[in-house]
Amino acid sequence: MIHRKKSSPRRNTLPLHLIAWIVGLFIIIPVVYALIGGFKSTSELSTNPLGLPDTWATENYTDVIGSGSFWLQLWNSTFIAVVTTVLTVGVSALAGFVFARFAFRGRELFFTLFTAGLMFPFAVAILPIFVLLRTFGLLGNPLGVILTQAAFGLPLTIIILRGFFRGIPGEIEEAAIIDGCSPFGFFWRILLPMARPAIATVSVLAIVGSWNNFMLPLVVFNEESSWTLPLGIQQFQGQYASDTARILAYLVLAMVPALGFYAVAERHLVGGLTAGATKG
């Protein structure tokens, strides 16, 4: 009788660990470069781009933190991201609940129309969006950014939440209805608390997407007082040159709030994505 030698589980996972390390390095190296580059002068970045600074120029960070424009842009970004997330998640939760728990004629057709929104990148629609916002008088108004971001965030959010809602056993809903709970009461009191991982997932995606959005605020806002953090980079660019070291310091500081929020909600992120992809 021939006995086959079983391969070690550790040896089987070695390629996966190697790929994870390579991907991690591709992600972390630009962040470390920006962090260290923010402590250099722009001239030193040209002569010594990869090494440690000869003199740690902390004023790049302190000047950004001490400027009133940074905190104003931080507030603008936070306000737009929070309102966009509340609007996107609120509307998508209601739509996902209807698509998941109610059977009506044309349900799959309507859902297909929502999912078709994933095929249209924002850059392709920028000109029609600009004309539409100008027609409704939303240029220079935060609502122009908020409503547009919410509209483009609905398809993916509805897909994730619908998949999670469909995975909730029907017996729970039947028991709630027998106890006198209305459909909306079941949605508000039972379904939403059970969907916290999925809600956290789509909230992270909406906040990070809004936080990093550059093109839409660039199109909508003309006044510097309305700029968000991605637009704040322009204040370090002159007519003939850019203060690259200050730009790197600004980028690092702008990443901190989004990374902090992601670190808090990260434990829900993977579980919510997995549930939305496998349930239903």
| CA distance linking residue 226 with residue 220, whole number of Å | 9
b/e sequence 74-105, b meaning 16+ C-beta within 10 Å:
bebbbebbebbbebbbebbbebbbbbbbeeee
Task: Say if residue 75 is in the same domain as residue 24.
Answer: no
Whether residue 53 lies inside any domain: the answer is no
Whether residue 142 lies inside any domain: the answer is yes
| CA distance linking residue 83 with residue 85, whole number of Å | 5
**CA quadruple 171, 174, 176, 179: dihedral positive or negative?**
negative
The count of structural domains within the chain is 2
pLDDT of residue 277: 45
Task: Say if residue 187 is in the same domain as residue 156.
Answer: yes
Task: Say if residue 113 is in the same domain as residue 162.
Answer: yes
Say what the pTM is.
Answer: 0.83
Whether residue 234 lies inside any domain: the answer is yes
pLDDT in tens, the chain (280 residues): 455 555 555 567 788 888 888 888 888 888 898 899 888 888 888 888 888 888 888 888 988 888 778 899 999 999 999 999 999 999 999 999 989 888 888 888 888 888 887 887 788 888 899 999 999 999 989 999 999 999 999 999 999 899 888 888 888 888 888 888 888 888 888 888 888 888 888 888 899 889 989 999 999 998 888 899 999 887 777 655 577 888 888 989 988 888 887 777 666 665 555 554 444 4
**CA quadruple 211, 214, 219, 224: dihedral positive or negative?**
positive
Query: Domain range holding 149?
Result: 68-278
- Check which CATH number belongs to the domain holding 270 and give it: 1.10.3720.10
pLDDT in tens, 35-68: 998 888 888 888 888 888 888 888 889 888 887 7
